[in-house]
Amino acid sequence: MTVLQIIFLGISVIIVIGALMTVSSPNLVHAALWLILALAGVAAIFVLLEASFLAVVQVAVYIDAISILIVIAVMLTRRAMGETERQINRSWLLAAFAAFMVFSGILSLFSQVPQLANTPSDLVESSEFYIQELGKALVNVDQSIIPFEVASVLLLAAMIGAIFIARPPERAGGDS
């Protein structure tokens, strides 16, 4: 066991606990906070994978923006479902079984991946280089320019659509 392996196992335990509490906690605010813990663990995993840019982006996007949005939405809809109400539906056993079957299915697929026991080769370039490459790839006509511009259209559509949907109905005259 090397130090890196121990760190990886520690982070994995945190992520899995966070994920399990997210799906099982009856209090939705707590579920959101556990989700944040799991997502922070994923950021640490990105650091281990030497994708430092994605690690900080994970924190900036998921922890600072998405999870806060989720908590706001929980607060806005808090009156609809109290903690006392059933949080899981009738077929939850079936759901657990399905999830377990998918998990074992994925595990059984691993035997077909030849590089499974690979350990990473050292990155040849400086870490600065990879961010520059990423930036160039995003605007290069031969590489990912289409996803880049499509993403901007997608974000624009999401923003317009979400504002359109989420605005309070006019007749109600404000719901503060």
Partner 1 sequence: MHEPWIFIAFLIPLGIILPATAIGLNRLLAPRKPNPIKQSTYECGMETVGDTWVQLKGQYYIFGLIFLIFDIEAVFLFPWAVAYQQLQLYMVLEGIFFILLLAGGLLYAWRRGALEWV
Partner 2 sequence: MGDPFTLIADFLRDLLLGFGLDPGLTTAILKFVGAAVTATIALTLTFFTIWLERKLIARFQDRLGPNRVGPYGLFQTVADFAKLLTKEVLVPEGADRSVFMIAPLLVVMSVVGLWAVVPFAPTLFGSDINVGVLYLVSIGSVGTLGIMMAGLSSNNKYALLGAFRTVAMMLSYAVPMILTLLIPTMLAGSMGLTKIVEAQNPVWFVILSPIAAFIFYISSLAEVGRTPFDLMEAESEIVAGFHIEYSGISFGMFFVAEFLHAFTIAVLTVTLFFGGWQGPGAEAFPILGFVYFLIKTAILYFVIIWIRATFPRLRIDTINSISWKILTPLALAAVIFTAIIDKLTPGDGWARVPLHLAGSVILIGLTLIAFRAYARSIRKQSEGSGKSLAQTSEAGS
Partner 3 sequence: MIPLSWYLILAASIFCIGLYGVLARRNAIAILMGIELMLNAVNINLVAFWRYLTPSIINGQVFAIIVFAVAASEVAVGLALIISIYRRKTTVAVEEINLMKW
Q: Which residues bind partner 1 (CB under 8 A)?
A: 4, 47-48, 50, 52-53, 57, 60-61, 64-66, 68-69, 72-73, 75-76, 78-79, 123, 127-128, 131-136, 138-140, 145, 148-149, 151-153, 155-156, 158-160, 162-164, 166-168, 174-176
Residue 153 binds what, of partner 3, partner 1, partner 2, none (CB under 5 to 8 Å, by partner type)? partner 1
**Residue 41 near residue 18, CB atoms below 8 Å:** yes
Positive/negative CA dihedral, 158, 164, 168, 174: positive
Largest Cα separation within the chain, whole Å, is 65
Q: Which one, 98 or 123, has the nearer CB to partner 1?
A: 123
Among 19, 66, 70, 71, indicate the residue that binds partner 2 (CB under 8 A).
71
Would you state the structure tokens that stand for residue 49, as one six-digit string? Answer: 């994978």
**Residue 45 near residue 11, CB atoms below 8 Å:** yes
Among positions 147-176, residues that touch partner 3 (CB under 8 A) are 147, 151, 154-155, 157-159, 161-163, 165-166, 168-169, 172, 175
Query: Euclidean distance between the first and final Cα of the chain, in Å?
Result: 57
Residues 81-100: x where in contact with partner 2 by CB under 8 A, - otherwise, as a string: --------------------
Q: Scanning the structure block, which residue is given the tokens 């959101």?
A: 32
Tell me which amino acid residue 75 is: M
Q: How many CA atoms lie within 13 A of 41 on its CB side?
A: 19
Among 6, 20, 57, 145, indicate the residue that binds partner 2 (CB under 8 A).
57
Q: Which one, 57 or 98, has the nearer CB to partner 2?
A: 57
Nearest to 96 by CA among 23, 170, 4, 14: 23
Give me the residues that bind partner 2 (CB under 8 A), please. Answer: 3, 29-30, 33, 36, 52-53, 55-57, 59-60, 63-64, 67-68, 71-72, 75, 126-128, 131
